[in-house]
Structure 1
Amino acid sequence: MNRHRDGGRQDAQDRKIGDRVSGTVLAPGKVVKGNPQETLMANSPPRVNASHPSGTLLLVCGGYPPRRTDLKQRWVLRSLCHGWQRIWGGLGQKLGQKLGQKPGRSPWAYGLVGLGLSLSLGLGLNLGPQAAPVLAQGTGGAPPQHYSDLTFPPLPAITLPDYDRITLDNGLVIYLVEDHELPLVQGSALVRVGDRWEPADKVGLGGLTGQLLRGGGTQHHSFGEINQFLEDRAASIETSIGTTAGRASFSALREDLDSVLDLFVEILREPAFAADRLALAKNRTAGSIARRNDDPGGIAQREFGKLLYGSDSPYGATLEYDDLAAITRDDVVAFYETYVHPDGILLGIVGDFDGVSLRQKLETLLGDWPAAGLDLPPLPAVDTTPGGGLFTVDQPQLTQSYVQLGQLGGQLDSPDYPALSVLNEVLNGFGGRLYNEVRSRQGLAYSVYSYWSPNYDFPGTFVAGGQTRTEATLPFLRTVTQEIEAVRQAPIAPEELQYAKDVVLNSFVFGFQSPGQTLSRLMTYDYYGYPSDFVFQYQRGVEAVTLEDVQRSAQTYLQPDHWITLVVGNVAAIAADLAQWGSATAIDITIPDPPQ
């Protein structure tokens, strides 16, 4: 989807079953394909013994916090670190005074002496049987392990936290997850609304409404008063409306939960949509329209979405000055009143609270909000007729081309989604076929990718592409297509299958690192009508994927003959090359002038 407007497309993150992290996730007993030295460095033990208190302090004070420490541990360690440095820094200054400070030398120089004493003492305390192997590495003793000999413990199993799901009489659904590790409380609400339901002549209305829920003040507090209230408490409240959902969230210290929650509910129930704030939001949005062609990557993403979904589809529409000028405060109020009702809201709260008392408070705050018998319009239709063709956007100042190829994709509830996820990893990332061939062997691009990206309730996309130097545009197109065609024509190797499955399965742990992440996933499944154990169904599906499944899915879903190809770059310099790819259609991205 490609709707470039304020409010953004936050729902894109929801469709990721396993939250990704940079780099490759290692399986137990596995190693990264690629640079052995990088693998060794990434997994070598630290040069000090982090299991010893002084060693841990040295890691923190030296800027290398232990990887496995959580937020609370880091907070405590940093506090100890500062105390440690102040004590020894003070001793250093005392030593300087005792020895006689030399003229022109800052007392801080003697603080460094104290810090040196601190480090020396820490290293001394750290010496012991556990430190011997580490010291041996740096003193000509036993060599470090070869990267192929490194092993890793199994990742922990994914578990769901205990939670309560409550439905109020007005239909509002509440999830409560108690987590007393830190004195913090966070909440988030999903609202059954989306800018895909805004009128065709009011493109941008949903995004503005989402901004002004929080940014337009309430019936009782101005925007400035809300800001001051939250700033005084180190709290936050944010709202937005994306393509498929509206969102509201808050964060507060435990001691401020009652007052922040009161304001959060007030924003949801009694927004003011102040006219001056609407005017400011429209001016800012106009500025984003004026700048939308500054980034060639943004141009490629926007125009490719329009080619896939159609410029008249809400999934491909582009906000223009005329659309923005047509939006009035009455439009914003009407859009809010149509869609924001308790029977269309899921509210989740996680943190340090008492579940019984919080439930009573929520029933008091939200229980008298009348339901509207929400009758949502049907989802906008998507034309899935195979397309095709070559399209160009001329940017003569560029020395490289931004290339995208692809087609419409599917939804997450497809039975072949696990196999397509494995296929993603066969093609992508360090050790993937595209990376190895396009970047490493041929040197055609620094960035190259291809992803089957499904959505929850409407067709997603398959997009392949990257950036390459201008003269390499045609070889880039050919090589990317050939590599994808190869997985359609022949089965992948068993080693590729196992590696890709390891990456997918091991990425799950990063999506369940906190109760808040897990709660967000449960609410998302509920919102889109998926079973609460969908992630486990998906996990079992990935484990069962075979070589035949990957090839069959590639043959069924990837259709290079019907791909749309978009090139953003210096078209004149590559016109002859592109003629070998096909007949090109130029896209005019001139921004229409604002109405006078």
Structure 2
Amino acid sequence: MKKSVLIALVLISLALQACQSAGVKGEQNAVSASRARSLDDLVYKPINTDIPKTKRVVLNNGMVVHLMPYHELPLFSVASMIRVGAIFEPEDKTGLAMLTGATIRSGGTVSTPPDILDETLEFISGSVETSIGAESGSASLSVLSKDTDKGLEIFADVLRNPRFDQDRFELAKARMLDGISRQNDSPTGAANRELLKLIYKGSVYGRYPTIETVTSITIDDVKKFYAKYFVPQNVMLGVTGDYDESAIISKLEKVFKGWKGPTPRYPPVAPVVEKFDGGVYLVDKKIPQSVIRMGHLAGRKTDPDYQTLRVMDDILGGGGFSSRLVKSVRVDRGLAYSVWAYTSGGRRELGRFMAGAETKASSTAEVIGLIKSEIERIRTEPVTDEELKMAKDSIINSFIFVFDRPAKIMGQRMILDYYGYPKDYLETYRDKVMAVTKEDIMRVAAKRLHPDGLKIVIIGDPEKFDMALSKFGKVTKLKLKDYGAPRR
């Protein structure tokens, strides 16, 4: 009897739980349906994908200024592009531009010794930096907005009145010499450098500083190089941060008042000669892994087919695990951890197409063959609809990250102005990417990629290679210079 009652109670309890569960589920389903209807009824504000523009102003002394206030943080920044570069330095003084850029800031100013300048900037948590690259120089200022006036005074003083302290010059020179003496310690760095020297052979873009050229540079060379090119009409400023537009122009006019100089006469820079004479260049080095780099000249960022090349790059070797090279070399065969290919469009001059990988010595030739075969395939076979869509989406979705901070937007706007790009270059970029077709990719790849014109640089142990490299072209041996300890 007791057992029957117990069983009955258990059954009643289970029935009640089932009813409650059904009720809860019914309520949940009703809520879910209600929420679904509510979400469908929501109206979202359209996302603004317009790229902000800067305000362009020209100061009385000829300096161009781009303005983009940003009041979210109490910071103030100035970036600059200066019409100078290593392409204008004498060949026997290669490294002069880089050394000049390093010592403008580090050497202090006429009125402020370098140590005092360092301490002053540290006290206000600010920074001023200068450098000179291949086609342009740069100077930057970063301070808290409350120190804007002090920061501008220091920044203008550095640009206008560098001291070129002898000790700081010697220190910068010693560091450069030390860097040159160690430049072959990294096989990947050496391979990249040697490939670029071959691609741009006979051009200023193929020159690199040596112990001899840097040793010959004097502090007088640096002073003359600075004096020739650092004039106000050669300087473009980009001002971002927490400031008032009208007030900042007055402040800039004040700190740069009286700065003047003759417009420099630039030495002629011979154009890069476009030719595609391939070959294999071997650096014999007893290391277990081969470093492979290959490439040839490419076009400019302003070429009509540049966006098509960007989509092609993503499919071929720039799209990570979705790219053909990664799938062929890494995923399918496990021959390399990193394998890639991309086109770096030139701004002033021709750019370059490059591909590369690192693999064990015994698969060196196999990897070279796989890379070349994928380059040939994209020239002769249409890409798939899926590949095309994935590449476009990748480029478009990452495009926004070029403009996620005011400083990045400013940098892009300044580059367009500096090189004279079309004003709508950025605004039309995405539409041009989306307009690319499969036929466009095959047409442009056939025109721009030259598998037989690739210069192939390998650093590795030829005794362990899987086959002779001569199957890829004439083999030329390269010897990396052993500089030993730098001469100072």
Q: Read off the aligned partner of 1:393 and give its amino acid letter.
A: V
Is the CA contact (8 Å cut-off) linking 2:361 and 2:466 kept in structure 1? no
Residue 457 (structure 2) aligns with? 566
Residue 506 (structure 1) aligns with? 397
Superposed CA offset, 1:438-488 (max 9, x none) = 110011111000111111110111011110111011110111111111111
Q: Read off the aligned partner of 1:182 and give its amino acid letter.
A: L
**In structure 2, do the counterparts of structure 1 residues 464 and 215 end up closer, same or farther at CA, with 3 Å as the change threshold?**
same
Residue 27 (structure 2) aligns with? none
Residue 421 (structure 1) aligns with? 310
Listed as ranges, the matches of 1:250-399 within 5 Å are 250-310=141-201, 312-396=202-286, 398-399=287-288
- Counterpart among 373, 395, 411 of residue 482 in structure 1: 373
Residue 92 (structure 2) aligns with? 201
Is the CA contact (8 Å cut-off) linking 1:408 and 1:459 kept in structure 2? yes
Q: Distance in 2 between matches of 1:391 and 1:592?
A: 21
Is the CA contact (8 Å cut-off) linking 1:155 and 1:509 kept in structure 2? no
How big is the shift at 1:371? 4.2
How big is the shift at 1:576? 4.3
SS in 1 for 2:322: coil
- Counterpart among 106, 112, 116 of residue 215 in structure 1: 106
Residue 383 (structure 2) aligns with? 492
- Counterpart among 456, 461, 467 of residue 358 in structure 2: 467
Q: Distance in 2 between matches of 1:401 and 1:170?
A: 54
- Counterpart among 411, 421, 424 of residue 530 in structure 1: 421
How big is the shift at 1:368? 2.2
Listed as ranges, the matches of 1:65-144 within 5 Å are none
Q: Distance in 1 between matches of 2:338 and 2:274?
A: 29
Superposed CA offset, 1:383-408 (max 9, x none) = 21222111111111x11111011111
Superposed CA offset, 1:278-301 (max 9, x none) = 111111111101111110001101
Q: Distance in 2 between matches of 1:271 and 1:155?
A: 50
Q: How many residues align?
A: 442
Q: Read off the aligned partner of 1:247 and give its amino acid letter.
A: S
SS in 2 for 1:315: helix
How big is the shift at 1:543? 1.3
SS in 2 for 1:201: helix
Q: Read off the aligned partner of 1:316 and give its amino acid letter.
A: G
Listed as ranges, the matches of 1:57-68 within 5 Å are none
Q: Distance in 1 between matches of 2:165 and 2:414?
A: 31
Q: Distance in 2 between matches of 1:156 and 1:414?
A: 30
Is the CA contact (8 Å cut-off) linking 1:522 and 1:532 kept in structure 2? no
SS in 1 for 2:251: helix
TM-score scaled by structure 2? 0.88
Q: Distance in 2 between matches of 1:519 and 1:362?
A: 18
Residue 326 (structure 2) aligns with? 435
Residue 440 (structure 2) aligns with? 549
Q: Distance in 2 between matches of 1:538 and 1:155?
A: 20
Gaps of 5+ in 2: 1-43
**In structure 2, do the counterparts of structure 1 residues 367 and 160 end up closer, same or farther at CA, with 3 Å as the change threshold?**
farther
Is the CA contact (8 Å cut-off) linking 2:54 and 2:413 kept in structure 1? no
Q: Read off the aligned partner of 2:243 and give its amino acid letter.
A: F
How big is the shift at 1:575? 7.8
How big is the shift at 1:508? 0.9
Q: Distance in 2 between matches of 1:565 and 1:161?
A: 42
- Counterpart among 164, 171, 181 of residue 62 in structure 2: 171
Residue 122 (structure 2) aligns with? 231
Residue 134 (structure 1) aligns with? none
Residue 291 (structure 2) aligns with? 402
Gaps of 5+ in 1: 1-152
Q: Distance in 2 between matches of 1:506 and 1:278?
A: 45
SS in 1 for 2:274: coil
Q: Distance in 2 between matches of 1:488 and 1:550?
A: 8
SS in 2 for 1:430: helix
Is the CA contact (8 Å cut-off) linking 2:330 and 2:336 kept in structure 1? yes
Q: Distance in 2 between matches of 1:195 and 1:575?
A: 41
Percent same amino acid among aligned pairs? 38
- Counterpart among 28, 43, 51 of residue 160 in structure 1: 51
**In structure 2, do the counterparts of structure 1 residues 345 and 403 end up closer, same or farther at CA, with 3 Å as the change threshold?**
same
Q: Distance in 2 between matches of 1:160 and 1:575?
A: 51
Q: Distance in 2 between matches of 1:260 and 1:595?
A: 38
Q: Read off the aligned partner of 1:324 and give its amino acid letter.
A: V
Q: Read off the aligned partner of 1:317 and give its amino acid letter.
A: R
Is the CA contact (8 Å cut-off) linking 1:404 and 1:466 kept in structure 2? yes
Q: Read off the aligned partner of 2:389 and give its amino acid letter.
A: Q
How big is the shift at 1:320? 1.3
How big is the shift at 1:170? 2.2
SS in 2 for 1:545: coil
Which shows bigger deviation, 233-242 or 155-164? 155-164
Q: Distance in 2 between matches of 1:501 and 1:575?
A: 37
Q: Distance in 1 between matches of 2:417 and 2:268?
A: 18
How big is the shift at 1:374? 3.6
Superposed CA offset, 1:208-229 (max 9, x none) = 0000110111101111111101
Q: Read off the aligned partner of 2:284 and give its amino acid letter.
A: D
**In structure 2, do the counterparts of structure 1 residues 356 and 195 end up closer, same or farther at CA, with 3 Å as the change threshold?**
same
Residue 89 (structure 1) aligns with? none
Q: Distance in 2 between matches of 1:168 and 1:288?
A: 39
